[in-house]
Amino acid sequence: MAAQATAQMDALSALGFRPVEGEIDCCYTLPASVGGAPVAALPAAEMRVAEAADIPALRELAAQTLTLSRFRPPWFSDEERQRFYAQWVENAVRGSFDHLCLVADGPTGPEGLVTLRDIGEQTARIGLLAVSPAARGRGTGKLLCRAALGWCRSRGFSQLRVATQTANLPALRLYLASGAQIVHAAHWLYRGPHDSI
């Protein structure tokens, strides 16, 4: 529900709904193509498109790192949240829902991932962005953002959108520092288990 829809939030609160988490939607505006050709992709060193063989490691990375979520107790168990994000990243690798998953490799395996989906009208959306605890503070998040923007530029997209929870300040700072602008704020409200608005 839009953050400014306070009367609707009050009405839902009277029906037993409780605010769970806020969501901030950000948008990168990409330069127009030059002479009809897509703008060249940004370099994405150490980045690659995930393959089926990566699924077990990526499922584990998503399940263990994506903890700041509206899928949280008491409405969802930690196990449900972990299964949800693990399945999301597997679906992205297989090209269903999100269209692909880019991986940042490290010496012992994947250190980060970003999933991307073409949502039409020259716009893409980041579904998930996760960095392993061991790789945090080393610029992996910036590398993932650059790779996502490069993927969009190479396909002639004009926008890249991403949403994050208001509690996830590191992600919000990353997106704003890498050029995104806040375009929308919303609240999630739940009444009971698995009953969301």
160 is written with which tokens? 């890249």
Amino acid at 141: G
Which is catalytic among the residues 28, 85, 175, 190? 175
168/128 Cα distance (integer angstroms)? 13
Looking only at the bridges linking them, the beta strands covering 123-131 and 159-165 are parallel
Question: Which is nearest to 153 in space by CA: 35, 28, 42?
Answer: 42
Question: Which is nearest to 172 in space by CA: 16, 21, 15?
Answer: 21
Which residue has tokens 């703008």? 39
Active site residue 28: no
Please confirm whether the linkage preceding 56 is cis (ω < 30° from 0). Answer: no
Catalytic residues: 175
